[in-house]
A = this chain, B = another copy of it.
Amino acid sequence: MAGAHVTKVGIVGIGFIGSDHLHRLTKTIANVEVTAVCDIVPNKAQKVLDEQGLKAKDYSDYHDLINDPNVEVVVCTASNEAHYEIVMAALKAGKFTFCEKPLALDAQQCMDIINEEKKLGRRMLQVGFMRHYAPEYVQMKQMIDDGVIGNPLMVDERHYNQTQPEEYDTSRSIIETAIHEIDLDHWLVNDDYASIRVFAPKQTRHAQNAQIKDPQIVMMETKTGINIVIEVFVRCQYGYDIKCDVIGEEGVLELPTVPQVATRLNAQYSTAILTDWKARFESAYDIEFRDFIGHVSQEESPVGPSAWDGYIAAVTADAALKSLDEDGEKQDLDFPEAPAFYAAK
């Protein structure tokens, strides 16, 4: 329609999640045009374009994509190792940027990105922690903020996957799995982390080798003393299962799951548990991009998870890995207040 601005997006990295976002941006988000794509593997991006019946400029060098005047927004879905350099380049070029989680590989890289973004004088970057957009977490956060349960005192969470291959080692349970809760929890309870420890109970027989620690238990304490327990169990066999209970001074909140038709069959009353994580937060991804594009299409700063959130997650995950290494030893964390630059969310 005349008058509706169509936002021009370039995507760097057309792997699993990149293809998914390509489809999302062209099929389920209004007023977006994906004008350019790029993948480090030759022909890969073009093949995905063809599969999805799309046309776009296919760059072999991401710098060219970033500098294309026909790209207003850069979406970074490259491998984790490449996030840092791509995001830095996009920010240096002054482009709105969406980077899948994790923002970068360590705390120092995140801090570099923060400093680069500050030079732009306003937020231009969002990190893809999509659960902030899941309606059930949004509702829970609102209820906490409304004081429905009084001050939160404890948080009980589970992040269970049906299974993972042997290469999904002990550290990935933290940096790819628990990272979602680590990112969410300080936002949910409006507090900063003061410490973290991670230890492993009895190993499941479904771990493919003796070195894998699965399940793991992550315990965090916030500055005001809230206790958070996250059970991470990535070979639980029965499904993809996410739990989040927040216990407050007046009562408890419990996160619901995706609705399923209930059955009464064979002496069992049952509802299906999902086995695929993508189905669990599918609508969250759509809402995430609708929100991000909605803001940047108006030349406004994005309001979703920021580089600061990416930094907190990185520092906390680093401490978690150290604790695992040191047999569950408590690691102190000491975050400053979020810089004013990021606070005005």
CB within 8 Å of B: which residues of A? 1-4, 26-35, 53-56, 135-136, 139-140, 143, 148-151, 153-154, 156, 162, 199, 201-206, 215, 217, 221, 224-227, 229, 231, 233, 236-239, 241, 247, 249-275, 283, 290
* Contact yes or no, A226 B202, CB < 8 A: yes
A1 to B217, CA, bound (A): 46
A261 to B140, CA, bound (A): 6
When distances are taken between beta carbons in the complex, the residues of chain B under 8 Å from A224 are: 202
When distances are taken between beta carbons in the complex, the residues of chain B under 8 Å from A153 are: 201-202, 204, 215, 233
When distances are taken between beta carbons in the complex, the residues of chain B under 8 Å from A241 are: 264
When distances are taken between beta carbons in the complex, the residues of chain B under 8 Å from A247 are: 215, 231, 233, 236
* Contact yes or no, A54 B1, CB < 8 A: yes
* Contact yes or no, B251 A256, CB < 8 A: no
Query: Closest CB of chain B to A239's CB: distance in Å?
Result: 5
- Can you give 24 contacting A-B residue pairs, CB < 8 Å? A1-B33, A1-B55, A4-B54, A29-B30, A30-B32, A139-B260, A148-B265, A153-B215, A154-B217, A199-B227, A202-B227, A206-B249, A217-B227, A229-B229, A238-B265, A253-B261, A254-B261, A254-B263, A257-B259, A268-B270, A268-B271, A269-B270, A270-B270, A270-B271
Query: Closest CB of chain B to A328's CB: distance in Å?
Result: 10
When distances are taken between beta carbons in the complex, the residues of chain B under 8 Å from A215 are: 153-154, 247
> Contacts A264-B238, A273-B264 hold; do A3 and B55 have CB atoms under 8 A apart?
yes
A29 to B286, CA, bound (A): 11
When distances are taken between beta carbons in the complex, the residues of chain B under 8 Å from A270 are: 268-271
